[in-house]
């Protein structure tokens, strides 16, 4: 602790340079935190929602392509399958075609919904009201809170993908691990569209998580030689492929994040090298006073790590504020229902910051520790 003042004062030596370095690190770590949160959201789907008991059947070409409704019966005959229900992305416009009004909308078989998505919690009265009324809909609590919906509200969705506008009545608000989805009756939309019988995905409930691999293979084998071959995958993998409709966002964010972090590490190393070069004489004086090379190394590395950690903290705070409090998180949550800046994401961001500091400060600190006192003092004389 007695060295902390010396470290802090050295960090403040060139305020502009330190501030810019902190900002550079924070931008890169912010991207890294975003990437990490996206990764966690992909991986977290099955863990958080009981999704290990479910697989998703979709077309092997794209999640945007469709399958015949008749597949449901064949899927339900596969050993290990308890139940399956058809689900389609509606993608209607609520109020205005703006990101803040976007949310996940699925028209589904409302009878099977609660059996397969068993984690959705709602009162039996609300459940019954939803299932009995063709124009009824339910929303997750987070979604209802965002738009200040209450049971009985009428919600209009203008068709963007399908040529039909819907007027729906909110009959229930569910709670659960994913509270940002809006469900309504498949029957209502099918009728309005003239019963095309097309299904975007089948959500399949398994008898046990251990059956997943076999069931996925058997379902895909079942339709391999049909006009509409399928691709069956876990919920987590499905969420990832759904995201790929937007382009490979995961790879894009991940790639940019890693490149920026790498670049910032190099810039940080250059900054630390500049700082160390300016202080050759001071380091020589400190060594003459009795500071050992290891102590010099520790002091200079501490500076680099502390600067990077300041950047990391700034990034974590920014990510928390931007994604959760400002509301951008809700927009992302349409596609990544478990997207959040969690404690583990913050820990990873801070760890990455510390690593940036260690790597960028390592060589300059090592060189400073090895400065010859005589050579260092001669630079002045």
The span from the CA of 52 to the CA of 246, in Å, is 25
Alpha helix (H) residue ranges in 231-292: 235-243, 249-278, 280-289
Comparing CB distances to another protein, the nearer of 95 and 277 is 277
Triad 194, 55, 106: Cα angle to 5°: 35
Please tell me whether residue 298 binds another protein under the rule CB under 8 A.
no
The span from the CA of 249 to the CA of 35, in Å, is 10
Please tell me whether residue 262 binds another protein under the rule CB under 8 A.
no
Please tell me whether residue 246 binds another protein under the rule CB under 8 A.
no
- Using CB under 8 A, which of 112, 253, 286, 300 touches another protein? 286
The span from the CA of 223 to the CA of 72, in Å, is 12
Q: How far lies 111's CA from each of 78, 90, 130, 191, 377, in Å? A: 20, 19, 10, 17, 83
Name the minimum Å distance from CB 312 to another protein. Answer: 24
Measured in Å, how far apart are the chain's first and last C-alpha atoms?
34
Contact stretch for another protein (CB under 8 A) within 180-188, 199-207, 288-296, 301-309: 288-296
Under rule CB under 8 A, which residues in 344-373 are in contact with another protein?
Answer: 373
Please tell me whether residue 177 binds another protein under the rule CB under 8 A.
no
Please tell me whether residue 17 binds another protein under the rule CB under 8 A.
no
Comparing CB distances to another protein, the nearer of 134 and 370 is 370
Contact stretch for another protein (CB under 8 A) within 29-37, 127-135, 263-271, 282-290: 282-290
Beta-bridge partner residues of 93 = 158
- Using CB under 8 A, which of 119, 133, 190, 282 touches another protein? 282
Contact stretch for another protein (CB under 8 A) within 6-14, 63-71, 125-133, 262-270: 6-14
- Using CB under 8 A, which of 160, 213, 259, 380 touches another protein? 380
Which strand ranges, in their side-by-side order, compose the sheet holding 104-108?
Answer: 154-157, 166-174, 136-140, 181-185, 104-108, 81-89, 201-206, 54-59, 230-234
Name the minimum Å distance from CB 281 to another protein. Answer: 6
The closest alpha carbon to 66, from 161, 197, 191, belongs to 197
Number of residues that bind another protein (CB under 8 A): 25
- Using CB under 8 A, which of 16, 148, 325, 374 touches another protein? 374
- Using CB under 8 A, which of 10, 21, 178, 232 touches another protein? 10
Tokens at 327, concatenated: 């509301």
Please tell me whether residue 343 binds another protein under the rule CB under 8 A.
no
Contact stretch for another protein (CB under 8 A) within 54-62, 171-179, 285-293, 313-321: 285-293
Comparing CB distances to another protein, the nearer of 341 and 369 is 369
Pairing state of beta strands 154-157 and 81-89?
unpaired
Q: Tell me if 58 sits within 8 A of 241, measured CB to CB.
A: yes
- Using CB under 8 A, which of 171, 205, 287, 320 touches another protein? 287
- Using CB under 8 A, which of 194, 227, 289, 343 touches another protein? 289
Q: How far lies 285's CA from each of 182, 375, 379, in Å? A: 68, 11, 12
Q: Tell me if 317 sits within 8 A of 22, measured CB to CB.
A: no
Comparing CB distances to another protein, the nearer of 3 and 101 is 3
Comparing CB distances to another protein, the nearer of 173 and 296 is 296
The span from the CA of 57 to the CA of 233, in Å, is 7
Please tell me whether residue 281 binds another protein under the rule CB under 8 A.
yes
Name the minimum Å distance from CB 294 to another protein. Answer: 9
The contact mask relative to another protein for 190-229 (x = CB under 8 A, - = no) is: ----------------------------------------
Strands (E), 19-165: 54-59, 67-68, 81-89, 104-108, 136-140, 154-157
Residue environment code for 58-70, b if the CB has 16+ CB neighbours within 10 A, otherwise e: bbeeebeebbebe
The SS3 call for residue 268 is: helix
Residues at the contact surface with another protein, assessed by CB under 8 A = 2-3, 5-6, 9-10, 12-13, 281-282, 285-293, 295, 373-374, 377, 380-381
């Amino acid at each position: 602790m007695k060295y902390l003042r010396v470290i802090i004062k050295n960090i403040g030596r060139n305020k502009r340079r330190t501030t810019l370095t902190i900002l550079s690190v924070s931008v890169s770590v912010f991207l890294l935190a975003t990437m990490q949160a996206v990764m966690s959201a992909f991986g977290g789907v099955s863990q958080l929602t009981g999704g290990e008991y479910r697989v998703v059947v979709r077309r092997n070409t794209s999640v945007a392509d469709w399958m015949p409704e008749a597949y449901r019966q064949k899927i339900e005959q596969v050993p290990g399958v308890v139940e399956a229900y058809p689900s389609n992305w509606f993608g209607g416009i609520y109020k205005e075609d703006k990101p803040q009004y976007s949310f996940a909308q699925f028209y589904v078989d409302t009878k099977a919904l609660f059996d397969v998505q068993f984690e959705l919690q709602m009162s039996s009265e609300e459940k019954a009201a939803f299932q009995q009324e063709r124009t009824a809909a339910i929303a997750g609590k987070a979604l209802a809170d965002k738009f200040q919906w209450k049971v009985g509200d009428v919600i209009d969705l203008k068709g963007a993908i399908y040529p039909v506008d819907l007027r729906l009545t909110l009959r229930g608000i569910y709670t659960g691990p994913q509270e940002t989805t809006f469900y309504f009756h498949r029957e209502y939309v099918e009728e309005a569209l003239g019963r095309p019988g097309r299904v975007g995905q089948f959500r399949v409930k398994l008898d046990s998580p251990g059956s997943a691999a076999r069931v996925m293979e058997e379902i895909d084998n079942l339709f391999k030689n049909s006009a509409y071959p399928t691709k069956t995958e876990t919920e987590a993998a499905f969420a990832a492929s759904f995201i790929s409709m937007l382009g490979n966002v995961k790879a894009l964010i991940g790639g940019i994040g890693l490149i920026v972090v790498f670049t910032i590490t190099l810039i940080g190393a250059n900054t630390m090298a500049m700082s160390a070069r300016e202080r050759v004489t001071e380091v020589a004086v400190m060594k003459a006073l009795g500071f050992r090379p290891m102590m010099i190394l520790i002091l200079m590395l501490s500076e680099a790590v502390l600067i990077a950690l300041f950047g990391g903290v700034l990034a974590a705070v920014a990510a928390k504020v931007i994604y959760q409090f400002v509301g951008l998180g809700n927009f992302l949550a349409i596609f990544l229902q478990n997207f959040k800046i969690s404690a583990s994401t913050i820990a990873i961001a801070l760890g990455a910051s510390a690593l940036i500091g260690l790597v960028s400060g390592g060589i300059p600190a090592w060189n400073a520790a090895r400065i010859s006192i005589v050579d260092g003092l001669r630079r002045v004389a």
